[in-house]
Amino acid sequence: MLVTPLEVQTSPAVKFTLHIDLVQSNDTPANDWSRFVGQLASQAVPPGGADQTVTVGPKVTRMEQHQALFGTPAGIVTLFREDGEFGFDPSARTFWKEPARLSSQELATMASIKPSITFDKTGRFESINGKRAERVTTTMTMPMPADVAAAPIPGLPPNLIVTIDAWVTDELKMPAGGRMPVIDQKILAALGVSQVEQFTDNRFLLKATFRVNFITGVEMVMTVRDVTDVNVPAATFDVPAGFKEVPPPSGRGGR
């Protein structure tokens, strides 16, 4: 008897490892806020940072957590799709739909701040993972949040300044409509940024550092490694069949 193999639908994708860590900066000594952040980081980020396996397809992304990070246990898979954000736990065979990361009121408050945002293509290039990458610097300046401004910290500046240095390359490409969900699009829209790609000048992100002006001596670093072009089963971007829906885990945004 002739058996015809089943045809499995596949999707073109880019697969890589995303490493996230909080590191000490030698530029300036740590202040009181830095020590406080350090205490929180010891609970939220494992020593040496955490890895995620990221698979980006056309208009969809899958992120698999290898170590616990910011309250997300190891092994959790998050799907960023056009119809929403979903998480699932392969070991428990459960899934959930992630709630909004910020409430409508919080988004409206952010929109009222109207930060000043500048993008600087520096023209400075480095070799990152063997690729020629330009540093693009984004600076967001806004009034200091009231709860932070009220804190008894000597020398606290009047404005909050967030600086993002992104090293980007033309030598790698995302699938059509693919993006790395580093920052929630609704939050960006509230801040006046139309697309997350503005931070990367529409190029492939290889490394990024995030700094806040009143937190000295520490910065968050994201590094992309082991980038490959792959074809994956289309089901890679679906919640597996037979998983039971449950409420999102406790914490902001289901985290």
From 59, 37, 63, select the one nearest 51 (Cα to Cα). Answer: 63
| 3 found inside a domain | no
Average pLDDT, rounded, for the chain: 82
Look at residue 255 in the predicted model and tell me its pLDDT. 38
Look at residue 214 in the predicted model and tell me its pLDDT. 77
pLDDT at 134 exceeding the cut of 80: yes
pLDDT at 136 exceeding the cut of 70: yes
| 5 found inside a domain | no
| 1 found inside a domain | no
Q: DSSP labels for 209-239?
A: EEEETTEEEEEEEEEEEEEEEEEEEGGGGSP
Q: Which amino acid is at 81?
A: R
Alpha helices in the chain (DSSP H): 32-44, 104-113, 146-149, 185-191
Domains of the chain: total? 1
Average pLDDT over residues 69-84: 89
Scanning the structure block, which residue is given the tokens 């009222």? 112
**Are 104 and 117 within 8 A, CB to CB?**
no
Average pLDDT over residues 71-78: 91
| CA atoms of 184 and 180, how far apart (whole Å) | 10
pLDDT at 103 exceeding the cut of 90: no
**Are 110 and 135 within 8 A, CB to CB?**
no
Average pLDDT over residues 15-21: 94
| 248 found inside a domain | yes
Helix (H, G, I), strand (E, B) or coil at 190: helix
pLDDT at 22 exceeding the cut of 90: no
| 4 found inside a domain | no
From 239, 254, 255, 236, select the one nearest 55 (Cα to Cα). Answer: 236
Q: What is the CATH number of the domain that holds 206?
A: 2.50.20.10
pLDDT at 79 exceeding the cut of 60: yes
| 218 found inside a domain | yes
Selected residue with higher pLDDT from 128 and 103: 128
**Are 169 and 204 within 8 A, CB to CB?**
yes
Domain that holds residue 171: 10-254
**Are 251 and 102 within 8 A, CB to CB?**
no
pLDDT at 237 exceeding the cut of 90: yes
| 244 found inside a domain | yes
Look at residue 114 in the predicted model and tell me its pLDDT. 74
Scanning the structure block, which residue is given the tokens 């790395």? 180
- Estimate the share of the chain in helix, then strand, then coil, as percent rounded to the nearest 5: 20, 45, 40
pLDDT at 29 exceeding the cut of 70: no
Average pLDDT over residues 100-110: 68
Total residue count of the chain as it appears in this document: 255
| 2 found inside a domain | no
Look at residue 3 in the predicted model and tell me its pLDDT. 45
Whether this model's pTM surpasses 0.85: no
Q: Which amino acid is at 88?
A: F
pLDDT at 7 exceeding the cut of 80: no
pLDDT at 179 exceeding the cut of 50: yes
